[in-house]
């Protein structure tokens, strides 16, 4: 083993060293007496800290949910409001267009009551089915008698012309009886009906009923001219049923002569009765 060297310090002044040691001892004793004893506090509980953090997170989450919900609701409300405004604008636009159309044509639709027509007819029979009525109609046609099948609640009636008086109807019934067909004269009334018509259509139909009643009594040249003038109307604004009626009346008028006037007027009456039926 290596020899250790000892180091020694030599104090030149031992008395000074003794004084220094005494002084240090006194200062240490005074310092220890003046310092208050340190008390160790207990550390905070981990459970309380965790509980506080959970409540804070819960509060923040709830607040965010409320903010998001309110924002989403306001967004939907704005979208619906915009859509409602667009629908309202479209409805107003359509209404304005209809108003302009009505203003341009000066025409509106209303419910009008059609004046019923009436006259004396020669009835050749009543049948339960349309097949039976059509067979009888063919038999009449073979003997030279034109007829109109009229659909009623009691069945199908075969009418042979319409006349203004009972006497006139009975006078024309003779030929039918001589041909072997049973018949009798009766007064026939049309039904009163209300139809949705424009002002122009109603006025035009009112003129028809007057012309028809005049033609039932007599059909002279002046009346023919009145019918021709009445048919010169612009029918493009009419409804489809009114245009079909116009075509039927025009055809019957063009075929009407003195000898077939009762059957042509009866056909016109039926078309008038079936209008919008």
Residues 76 and 131 in one domain: no
What angle in degrees, to the nearest 10, is found between the helix axes of 261-273 and 240-255?
180
The whole domain housing 79 covers 50-88
Question: What is the side-by-side order of every strand in the sheet holding 184-189?
Answer: 148-152, 155-163, 118-127, 184-189
pLDDT in tens, 232-243: 999 888 999 999
Q: How many CB atoms lie within 10 A of CB 92?
A: 10
With 60 as the cut, is the pLDDT of residue 5 above it? no
- Domain assignment present for residue 35? The answer is no
What is the sign, positive or negative, of the torsion defined by CA atoms of 26, 32, 33, 34?
A: positive
Share of residues in the chain with pLDDT > 70 (%): 60
Is 33 domain-assigned? no
Residue 63, domain member (yes or no): yes
175 and 68 in a common domain: no
* pTM (two decimals): 0.62
In the chain, how many domains are there?
2
Reported in sequence order, the residue ranges of 183-270 that DSSP labels E, i.e. its strands, are 184-189, 193-198
Instruction: Kindly state whether residue 225 falls inside one of the protein's structural domains.
Output: yes
**Are 147 and 61 in the same domain?**
no
pLDDT in tens, 164-198: 999 999 999 988 989 999 999 999 999 888 999 99
Q: Which of 32-36, 58-62, 120-124, 172-176 has the lowest mean pLDDT?
A: 32-36
- If you average pLDDT over residues 56-65, what whole number do you get? 66
pLDDT at 85 over 80: no
Q: Tell me if 265 is assigned to some domain.
A: yes
* Residue range 9-52, pLDDT digits in tens: 444 444 444 444 554 445 444 444 444 444 444 444 555 555 55
**What was the pLDDT predicted at 273?**
93
Do 255 and 264 touch, CB atoms closer than 8 A? Answer: yes
Cβ–Cβ under 8 Å, residues 146 and 162: no
Please report, for the domain that includes residue 161, its CATH number: 3.30.70.1070
Regarding whether 136 and 257 lie in a shared domain, the answer is yes
């Amino acid at each position: 083993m290596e020899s250790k060297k000892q180091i020694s310090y030599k104090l030149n002044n031992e008395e000074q060293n003794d004084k220094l040691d005494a002084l240090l001892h006194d200062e240490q004793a005074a310092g220890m007496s003046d310092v208050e004893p340190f008390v160790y506090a207990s550390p905070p509980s981990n459970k309380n800290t965790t509980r506080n953090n959970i409540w804070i997170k819960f509060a923040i989450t709830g607040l965010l949910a409320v903010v998001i919900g309110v924002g989403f609701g306001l967004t939907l409300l704005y979208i619906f409001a915009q859509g409602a405004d667009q629908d309202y604008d479209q409805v107003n636009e359509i209404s304005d267009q209809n108003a302009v159309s009505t203003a341009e044509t000066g025409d509106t639709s209303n419910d009008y009551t059609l004046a019923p027509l009436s006259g004396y007819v020669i009835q050749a029979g009543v049948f339960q089915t349309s097949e039976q009525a059509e067979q009888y109609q063919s038999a009449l046609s073979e003997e030279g008698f034109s007829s109109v099948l009229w659909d009623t609640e009691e069945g199908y009636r075969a009418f042979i012309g319409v006349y203004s008086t009972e006497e006139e109807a009975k006078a024309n019934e003779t030929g039918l009886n001589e041909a072997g067909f049973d018949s009798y004269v009766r007064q026939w009334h049309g039904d009163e009906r209300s139809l949705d018509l424009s002002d122009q259509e109603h006025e035009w139909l009112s003129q028809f009923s007057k012309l028809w009643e005049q033609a039932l009594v007599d059909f002279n040249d002046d009346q023919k001219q009145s019918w021709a003038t009445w048919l010169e109307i612009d029918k493009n604004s009419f409804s489809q049923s009114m245009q079909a009626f116009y075509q039927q009346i025009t055809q019957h008028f063009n075929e009407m002569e003195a000898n077939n006037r009762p059957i042509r007027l009866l056909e016109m009456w039926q078309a008038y009765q079936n209008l919008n039926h």
